[in-house]
Structure 1
Amino acid sequence: MADTQTTPLIGKALLQKVKELSHLPRRETARRCGYYTVTKNNQTRVNLTDFYDALLVANGLPLDPEGTKDGRGREPTYRVSVHKNGQIVIGAAYTLSMGLKSGDEFEIKLGYKHIRLVQLGSSESIGTDADEEN
């Protein structure tokens, strides 16, 4: 089977091309963006599903966010709540993403509606603001 198709567009290039081709039907737009295959009988088949998936990803809306999960625990939500005992717990996913090690110490600075952690021995804040829960 001779395949003369080009590589499908993705990201910003895809969004720009879709904008340029907005006057065309969606099947033609998908074909011109590279979302098609050529069959053995030399017929062109447009892959609308792949085209729509690529559009969602290009717009920052992954269709299957669970697909990127590695299977080890929950994904971080970047939200915490105050426990019944008054404690706020920051999980390992957050400390790993910030490059923190066991034994790192922080100064807690309370703001009007935020908590700031400043790493001791560092002149800058770690950037971990957490809004207080009401």
Structure 2
Amino acid sequence: MGDVSKSDLVRACGYVSQKKSGDERLNFTAFYEALLQAKGVEFGGAPKAGKGGRKLSFSTKVQFNGNLMVGKAYTAMLDLKPGDEFEIKLGRKQIRLVPLGAEDEEE
């Protein structure tokens, strides 16, 4: 497109939305992300989507009763089934779940 400004380039590629006030908003971030993707550049390791299209947060918290929950989306990603058993390995500020019968890589 020659010597057009960055704003004109973003606008010409359709990365424009309307503010509540009716003014134009140029979506530079979306434009640059699409440009990088088109050039084959992978960046950010964005969380995968779980059921319902929600993004997985890869974090959890201890519940009021002391339980620590790992959601269904995570167990599905690892192809875990009801009845699968694990040994709980405690480290310094970490918890590892090792499938029973599997060799622990760090021992």
Question: Normalized against structure 1, the TM-score is what?
Answer: 0.47
What residue in structure 1 maps to residue 33 of structure 2? 56
What stretches of structure 1 move > 6 A for 4+ residues in a row? none
Q: Which runs of 5+ in 1 are unaligned?
A: 1-20, 36-44, 126-134
SS in 1 for 2:96: strand
Higher relative contact order (CA 8 A, sep 6+): 1
Which structure: larger Rg?
1
Deviation, structure 1 residue 83:
1.0
Count of residues in correspondence between the two structures: 85
- Measure the CA separation in 2 of the matches of 1:75 and 1:89: 17
- Measure the CA separation in 2 of the matches of 1:117 and 1:46: 51
Matched, 1:108 2:88: yes
Q: Which runs of 5+ in 2 are unaligned?
A: 17-26, 37-41
- Measure the CA separation in 1 of the matches of 2:57 and 2:98: 22
- Measure the CA separation in 2 of the matches of 1:96 and 1:124: 22
- Measure the CA separation in 1 of the matches of 2:33 and 2:77: 26
Q: What do you get for the CA RMSD once the two structures are aligned?
A: 3.7
Question: Normalized against structure 2, the TM-score is what?
Answer: 0.57
User: Cα deviations across residues 14-40 of structure 1 (Å, max 9, x unaligned)?
Assistant: xxxxxxx9x973267x4xxxx8xxxxx
Deviation, structure 1 residue 75:
3.1
Matched, 1:117 2:83: no
